[in-house]
């Protein structure tokens, strides 16, 4: 099923009329967002590559394979051009957070997947990069919004109770992952 099967207006109306449901994680499964939601949509752009992504990736309880492939490519390690499968739970957390903030602008993605080589290079330059980063498993994203502060994004992601959330105000981004529920720099 592709997005062209539906009208943009119909999808937006359906999306706005429902609550986005999040896939269960090993933690609480987004109690405030669980149980409804026929459509999940993610919208992001990358200042690094100039690419944009705006896709419905979940309809009627099922992930859309073609949309997940687009997300995987978009969230690739842009330094090495390596692509891996991004854990859909990470996208669900970002989507649920976005929905809680009631914004319409796309996320700016700073980092999605990182190859071990990229992670090691970044780690050599910054103490804020974890040795065993979930970015290397396709389970994390570093995101920002122009219209919301790091604190607002952090609060929305934390409210999901569905993974790790790190706040980086000096660098103006929030880390979201689908690992254990935890927070840092809050």
Q: What is the 3-state secondary structure (H, E, C) of the chain?
A: CCHHHCCHHHHHHHHHHCCCCCCCCCCCCCCCCCCCCCEEEEEEECCCCCCEEEEEEEECCEECHHHHHHHHHHCCECCCCECCCCCHHHHHHHHHHHHHHCCCCCEEEEECCCCHHHHHHHHHHCCCCCCCCHHHHCCEEEEECCCCCHHHHHHHHHHCCCCEEEEECCCCEEEEECCCCEEECC
Greater confidence (14 vs 79) lies with 79
| Confidence band, pLDDT 50/70/90 cuts, at residue 186 | low
| Confidence band, pLDDT 50/70/90 cuts, at residue 105 | very high
Given this model, what pLDDT does residue 117 score? 94
Number of domains the chain contains? 1
* Residue-number span of the structural domain to which 89 is assigned: 3-184
What value does the mean pLDDT take over residues 57-82? 95
What value does the mean pLDDT take over residues 172-183? 96
CATH number of the domain to which 155 belongs: 3.30.1380.10
Whether the model clears a pTM of 0.85, i.e. scores above it, the answer is no
What value does the mean pLDDT take over residues 83-94? 97
Given this model, what pLDDT does residue 30 score? 44
What value does the mean pLDDT take over residues 30-36? 45
Given a cut of 70, whether residue 35 has pLDDT beyond it is no
Mean pLDDT, rounded, of the chain: 84
């Amino acid at each position: 099923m592709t997005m062209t099967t539906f009208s943009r207006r119909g999808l937006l109306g359906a999306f706005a009329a429902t609550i986005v449901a999040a896939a269960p994680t090993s933690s609480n499964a987004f109690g405030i967002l669980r149980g409804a939601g026929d459509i999940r949509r993610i919208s992001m752009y990358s200042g690094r590559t100039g690419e944009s992504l705006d896709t419905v990736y979940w309809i009627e309880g099922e992930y859309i394979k073609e949309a997940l492939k687009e997300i995987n490519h978009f969230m690739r390690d842009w330094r090495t051009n390596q692509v891996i499968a991004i854990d859909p739970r990470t996208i669900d957390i970002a989507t649920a957070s976005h929905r809680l903030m009631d914004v319409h602008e796309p996320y700016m993605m700073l980092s999605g997947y990182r190859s071990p080589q990229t992670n090691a290079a970044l780690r050599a330059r910054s103490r804020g990069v974890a040795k065993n980063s979930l970015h290397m498993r396709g389970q994390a994203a570093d995101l920002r919004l122009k219209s919301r502060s790091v604190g607002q994004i952090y609060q929305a992601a934390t409210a999901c109770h569905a993974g790790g959330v790190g706040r980086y105000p000096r660098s103006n981004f929030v880390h979201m992952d689908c690992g254990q529920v935890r927070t840092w720099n809050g």
